[in-house]
Amino acid sequence: MTVSNHHWRKAINVFMQALTFVCAILVILPLLLVFFYLLKQGAGAVNWAFFTELPKPVGEVGGGMANAILGTFILILLASCLGVPVGVLGGVFLSEYRHRQLNWWIRFTADIINGVPSITWGMVVYALIVLPMKGFSTLAGGVVLGLIMIPLIMRTTEEVLQLVPNGYREAALALGIAQWRVIVQIVLRTALKGIVTGVMLALARVAGETAPLLFTAFGNAYWTHRLTEPIAALPLQIFNYAISPYDDWHRQAWAGALVLILLISGINICVRTLTRDRFSKRA
């Protein structure tokens, strides 16, 4: 091998390394841009009233998004009531009860459903719940977000359960423990952190959904007292305020976006802290 060849290879190595570094930076750049822009535009409108007061009518200055913030939490809670049990149990079926053909179809369907645009979900739930009940409702909003969560949680649960070494299942079964107890007490317990991670990430994902809520939760400017009433949610409020012609509402929309991204980042940070010691342990 010639010397010049060697130099050439070194140069290419340096160049490619720099290129991959730049690409890596490009990945985080949008997040930083979004974050700083939101801070610049929205931080001014984030104050105590924003978290405690209801929206004011057009023309009146001030007011907040308290109902939308609470609404988002209520919707996430409702969605979890549907998405977590169905998703986790579905994942358990896929991972623990190997039914070859059925599993193939379930996985295939779940993956397709994962790719269905969320607005489609909104229309489906509109037809299934809003129309028969003759009105937009909190219930419909929770159901649509729950439906979006199911395939996400199901697939992550399955993957995490597959990471549990088979030796644990065999050891437990060899002790004469019934299979359902093995699943609950050994397999799920071993994989608990991973499942929690999957659930939290699914929560973070649906917390920001807007399109399906347009057809279901609809949004309002008041506190919601019943599951059959429409309910406000942060993404909806941001959307409604952002398309309005009022400067004050625009500022509030920026503030809402900032709060929403902080909320989602908060969930993600919780996940990372909760699962930090996962890989330091022996597998």
Partner 1 sequence: MQPMPNATVEPKSDPAKVAAVTARSLSIFFGNHAVLKNVSIDIGARAVTAIIGPSGCGKSTFLRSINRMHELNPDARMEGEIRLFGDDIYSRDVEPVVVRRRVGMVFQKSNPFPTMSIAENVTVGLRLNGERNKKILASRTEESLRMAALWDEVKDRLHAPAISLSGGQQQRLCIARALAVQPEVLLMDEPASALDPLATQKIEDLIIELKKDYTIVIVTHNMQQAARSSDFTAFFYLGELVEFGPTTRIFTNPVQKRTEDYVTGRFG
Which residue lies nearer to partner 1 by CB, 2 or 280? Answer: 280
In our burial notation (b when 16+ CB lie closer than 10 A, e otherwise), range 94-116 reads: bbbeeeeeeeeebeeebeebeee
Residue 63 DSSP SS3? strand
Residue 231 DSSP SS3? strand
User: Can you tell me the distance from the alpha carbon of 283 to that of 277, in angstroms, rounded to the nearest whole number?
Assistant: 11
> What minimum distance in Å lies between the beta carbon of 277 and partner 1?
12
Given candidates 30, 59, 132, 167, which one binds partner 1 under the rule CB under 8 A?
167
User: Can you tell me the distance from the alpha carbon of 222 to that of 220, in angstroms, rounded to the nearest whole number?
Assistant: 6
Q: Is 176 in the site for partner 1 (CB under 8 A)?
A: yes
User: Can you tell me the distance from the alpha carbon of 36 to that of 48, in angstroms, rounded to the nearest whole number?
Assistant: 21
Which residue lies nearer to partner 1 by CB, 190 or 244? Answer: 190
Which residue lies nearer to partner 1 by CB, 226 or 278? Answer: 278
Query: For residues 122 and 145, is the Cβ–Cβ distance under 8 A?
Result: no
Q: Is 98 in the site for partner 1 (CB under 8 A)?
A: yes
Q: Is 172 in the site for partner 1 (CB under 8 A)?
A: yes
Q: How many residues bind partner 1 (CB under 8 A)?
A: 22
Which residue lies nearer to partner 1 by CB, 96 or 158? Answer: 96
Q: Is 163 in the site for partner 1 (CB under 8 A)?
A: no
Question: Which one of the spans 59-67, 87-95, 184-192, 256-264 is the region binding partner 1 (CB under 8 A)?
Answer: 184-192
Query: For residues 245 and 263, is the Cβ–Cβ distance under 8 A?
Result: no
Which residue lies nearer to partner 1 by CB, 126 or 168? Answer: 168
Which residue lies nearer to partner 1 by CB, 32 or 192? Answer: 192
Q: Is 173 in the site for partner 1 (CB under 8 A)?
A: yes
Given candidates 13, 52, 185, 265, which one binds partner 1 under the rule CB under 8 A?
185
Q: How far is CA 244 from CA 164, 241, 263, 275, in A?
A: 51, 5, 24, 42
Q: How far is CA 82 from CA 143, 205, 206, 257, in A?
A: 7, 15, 13, 26
> 187-216: which residues touch partner 1 (CB under 8 A)?
189-190, 192
User: Can you tell me the distance from the alpha carbon of 222 to that of 225, in angstroms, rounded to the nearest whole number?
Assistant: 9
Q: What is the contact surface with partner 1 in residues (CB under 8 A)?
A: 98, 165, 167-168, 170-178, 181-182, 185-186, 189-190, 192, 281-282
